[in-house]
Amino acid sequence: MFLRNKLSLAVQDKMAFLIEPVRPSSIKSHDRFILERKIFPYILSNCKKVLFVGCAKYTKSYNQVFSNIEYWTLDFLEAKARYGSKNHVQGSLTELSKYFKKDYFDAIILNSVFGWGVDTAPEIRLALVECNQVLRSGGILIIGWNDLGTRSSKEFREMINSNRLFELFDLPTLNTYEYRTESHRHVFNFLRKPCNTA
Ligand SMILES: C[S@@+](CC[C@H](N)C(=O)[O-])C[C@H]1O[C@@H](n2cnc3c(N)ncnc32)[C@H](O)[C@@H]1O
């Protein structure tokens, strides 16, 4: 399963020139509505340095949305760079501390990356460690993923909500740390890197 996902990502990279022109430049769905109308406004009002992981044709317009803040994008496929920010890094979420300084970002948005390339429990664990490294104290981690109700979904949810690196964060624009949308079983989880108490 894991190998199949990796192979299909490599094929996607090579075939992007065929697939991308037919993809829409924006998506109308409840999860996208929540991301763009509830989550982004919070980010825009509270954050100065943001990392958005995973690019697609329909995320290109986010460059405009975040044009007044320091907006970074990251994707491990070379073909996705064209949809990224002027501050784009080609690389893996599981190696963030190779590209960014410690405590750099105010927020990191991982939408549809778990399950779309970061698929196994060890990879998710590593991704959370790397996000923790490059987020400042009090920084926000936003994870959007499809909770398919399987055994591994249960395990992912547990890893997201009960890990020691982050605390649960009630996003003020949604009043909750976990929001279930009405589309594709897509769920958003909101975490915060604890503030230094020393
Ligand atoms: C389904 S798309 C999600 C795009 C976008 N984040 C969104 O809001 O829909 C998944 C993207 O994540 C990227 N991706 C998957 N695993 C990654 C990893 N380990 N590091 C960086 N990017 C990754 C893929 O190349 C792909 O472009």
- pLDDT tens, the chain, 198 aa long: 444 455 555 555 555 555 555 556 677 899 999 999 999 999 999 999 999 999 999 999 999 999 999 999 999 999 999 999 999 999 999 999 999 999 999 999 999 999 999 999 999 999 999 999 999 999 999 999 999 988 889 999 999 998 899 999 999 999 999 999 998 799 999 999 999 765
Position 147 scores a pLDDT of 94
Query: What per-residue confidence (pLDDT) applies to 186?
Result: 96
Q: What integer pLDDT is reported at residue 5 of this predicted model? A: 54
Q: Whose CA is nearest to atom 22 of ligand 1?
A: 75
Any atom of ligand 1 within 6 Å of the Cβ of 186 = no
- How far apart CA 63 and CA 179 sit, in angstroms, is 25
Residue with CA nearest ligand 1 atom 15: 117
With a 6 A CB cut-off, is 53 part of the ligand 1 pocket? yes
Spell out the residues 6+ positions from residue 54 whose beta carbon is closer than 8 angstroms to its own.
74, 75, 80, 110, 111, 112, 113, 116, 117
Cα separation, 97 vs 142, whole angstroms = 18
Per CATH, the homologous superfamily of domain 2-192 is Vaccinia Virus protein VP39 (3.40.50.150)
Q: Is 34 near ligand 1, meaning CB less than 6 Å away?
A: no
Structure tokens at 43: 């980010």
Please indicate whether residue 84, judged by its CB atom, sits closer than 6 Å to ligand 1. Answer: no
Q: Quickly count helices (H) and strands (E) in the chain.
A: 7, 8
pLDDT at position 28, please?
80
> Residue 30 has what pLDDT?
94
From CA 180, how far away is CA 146, in angstroms rounded?
A: 10
Give CA–CA dist 1/64, Å, rounded: 36
Instruction: Flag whether the pTM goes above 0.95.
Output: no
Note whether 52 and 142 are within 8 A (CB): no
pLDDT value for 120: 93
Q: Are 50 and 66 in contact (CB under 8 A)?
A: yes
Question: What are the φ and ψ backbone dihedral angles of 86, each rounded to 5 degrees?
Answer: -65, -25
Confidence at residue 167, expressed as pLDDT on a 0 to 100 scale: 97
Write out the DSSP string of 3-35.
HHHHHHHHHHHHHHHHHGGGS-SS--SHHHHII
- CA quadruple 53, 90, 16, 150: dihedral sign: negative
The CA 117 to ligand 1 mean position distance, Å, reads 7
